[in-house]
Structure 1
C-alpha cells in the first residue's frame, strides 16, 4: 500500500478512537458527526483489511492489528503536527550565526562601525561577512541563500525581492581643510577648473556621477582615477584635489583626515539607498532581525516597510 492511497484524516480518526474508545466521544473530540466517524472507520477497515475495532461491553476495543499500529501512527501524527506548527526562532543574544551582506566600500565605511558596535552589545556571537555588490552574481547568491541582505542602489534586483528605503544620498564636494575653496567657496567655474580625483564605481549608483555631470555640460579636469573610495581621504588630505562623493561618506572622513565638504555647485539628484532581501527570506527570523536592526539604526524615517519591488 502506498501513502497516497490513505487519507490522513482516516488515521486521525483511528488515533482518536483509540484514545476515546467510542464513536460518539471521537465525533465530539473531532467536531464531526457520528456517521462521519463510522464512515471513516469503514473506509480504513477496507483499506487495511482488518476490523481494527470491535464493539464490546467496554466500548470499541482495538484488534491486535490495531494495537500494533497504534504507537507508530500516534508518533507519526504527533511529528506531523509539531512540524507544521513549528516556528523557527532567532535569539540574537545566543546565536552564533554568520550573516553575509552585500555592500560597496562606502557601505563598509559608513555602516560597519555602527553595526559592529551594535552586535557587540546585543548579539556578541553573531558575525558578519561582506561581499561587493558587483563582484558576485548577486541575484543568484541571494536566491541561493549565500547572501542574506544587500544595501545600496540596486535597480537590477526587482522581481522576487523586497526592499526597504534607508535614506536618500546627496553628493557633495570634499577637500582638505585650509583649501582655498574653504574660504572662497566653490562655483561651477572653479569646480571645473580644479583638479579632481574621480572614483570609478562601475555597477553601483555612484558610477552615475560622471554621466550626470556630462549631461549637465560639466567637464571636470580629472587628475586621478581610482577604483574605490578607500584611498580618497588619504589622497585629498595630501593634495589640493577635490572629489564629488556621497555626503554620508564625506561625514566619515572629516575627523580622521582633516577634511571639509560643501554642497556641490552642480545640482545632482540624490540616490535612494535601500536594504534588499530575497522573497524566500521574507519571514525568516534571523533575516528579519538583521534588516530591522539595520533599518532602526540607519533609516531616516524609522518607519518599517516591507515593500515588494
Structure 2
C-alpha cells in the first residue's frame, strides 16, 4: 500500500474512533454527519482488509489489527498537526485551556494548593482536573490526549512516554501532638507496639511501602484500614493511632491538624516521583508549559541539577 492510496481524512476518523468509541461522538467532534463517518469506516475496512472496529455494548472496540495501527497513526497525525501549527504559541495569561493530570490523593494534598495559587497569578483562565492513575487505563488515556500529565511512580508508562524526576519521596511516621511517642526517637519496639491506621493504595509507591511493612515481623497492629489519605489528618488528630505517610504529605498536614512526624524506624525505600507525558505531545506548546510549571514548582535541587 502506498501513501498516495490513502486519504488522510480517513486516518483522522480512525484516530477519533479509537478515542471516542462512538460514531455519533466522532461525527459531532469533526462536524460530520453520522453516515459520512460510517462511510469512512467502510472505506477504511476495505483499504486495510480488516473490520478495525466491532460494535459492542461498550461502544466500537478496536480489533487487534486496529490496536497495532493505533500508536503509529496517532503519532503521525500529531507530528503533522504540530508541523502545520508550528507558529502557534501558547499564552498562559490569556488561555482558557483545561489540563487533566493523573495523580493520587496524596498528590492532590501536596501539589494542588501551590499549583492553583501559582495559576491564579500567572494563568487565571486555566483550569485543572485530576484523575486517579489507578482508576483508568492511564496509558491509553494519555495517548488519546485525555490526560495531559501523570505524576507518581508509574512503571507501566515506558515505551512512547517521556518522564522527568521531580524528587525522591521518603516515608515518616506521623501522630498527634501530645501522643505518648512524642519527644523521643521512635524505636522499632515503639512502632510495632502502637496502634496503626493503614492506607490501602495498591498500584502506587505507597502500596510498595505497605507490602514491606506487612511482611515485617512483628506485624503492625492495624486498628483501621482506609482507602485514601484524605481523612488521615482528621483521624490522627483525635486518636492515638499512628500512620506511615510520605514526608511531603506530612509537611502539608502537620500544622493544620496539630500533628508531629518523625523519622521512620523501619528501613523503607525512597520512592521516585516522576512527571510523565506521552511522546505525541512532547512538542505541544501547552503541554510544554504545564510540565515546565510543575517542574519549577516541585523539582528538588538534585532533579534540577540533572535537568
Query: Is TM more than 0.5 here?
Result: yes
What is the match of residue 49 of structure 1? none
What is the match of residue 242 of structure 2? 242
What is the match of residue 252 of structure 1? 252
What secondary structure, in the 3-state scheme, does the structure 1 residue paired with 2:261 have? strand
Q: C-alpha offsets along residues 40-89 of structure 1, whole Å, 9 cap, x if unaligned? A: xxxxxxxxxxxxxxxxxxxxxxxxxxxxxxxxxxxxxxxxxxx7474231
Distance 1:291 1:277 in 2: 8
Q: C-alpha offsets along residues 182-208 of structure 1, whole Å, 9 cap, x if unaligned? A: 134321011101000000001211111
Distance 1:187 1:244 in 2: 14
Count of residues in Structure 1 that have an aligned counterpart in Structure 2: 228
* Structure-to-structure mapping, 1:48-197, within 5 angstroms: 84=84, 86-197=86-197
Is 2:165–2:274's contact at 8 Å kept on the other side of the alignment?
yes
Aligned-pair RMSD on alpha carbons? 2.1
* TM-score normalised per structure 2: 0.71
* TM-score normalised per structure 1: 0.70
Unpaired runs of 5+ residues, structure 2, are 5-82
Q: C-alpha offsets along residues 261-298 of structure 1, whole Å, 9 cap, x if unaligned? A: 00000110100000000000100000000000000010
Is 2:209–2:269's contact at 8 Å kept on the other side of the alignment?
no
Distance 1:195 1:175 in 2: 11
Distance 1:232 1:192 in 2: 19
| Cα distance change, pair 131–304 in 1 and its aligned pair in 2 (3 A) | farther
What displacement does 1:305 show? 6.7
Distance 2:96 2:238 in 1: 43
What displacement does 1:218 show? 4.5
What displacement does 1:216 show? 4.3
What secondary structure, in the 3-state scheme, does the structure 1 residue paired with 2:183 have? helix
Unpaired runs of 5+ residues, structure 1, are 5-82
What is the match of residue 304 of structure 2? 303
Is 1:96–1:127's contact at 8 Å kept on the other side of the alignment?
yes
Distance 1:206 1:212 in 2: 10
Distance 2:261 2:90 in 1: 42
Distance 2:161 2:224 in 1: 37
| Cα distance change, pair 141–206 in 1 and its aligned pair in 2 (3 A) | same
Distance 1:86 1:256 in 2: 46
What secondary structure, in the 3-state scheme, does the structure 2 residue paired with 1:157 have? coil
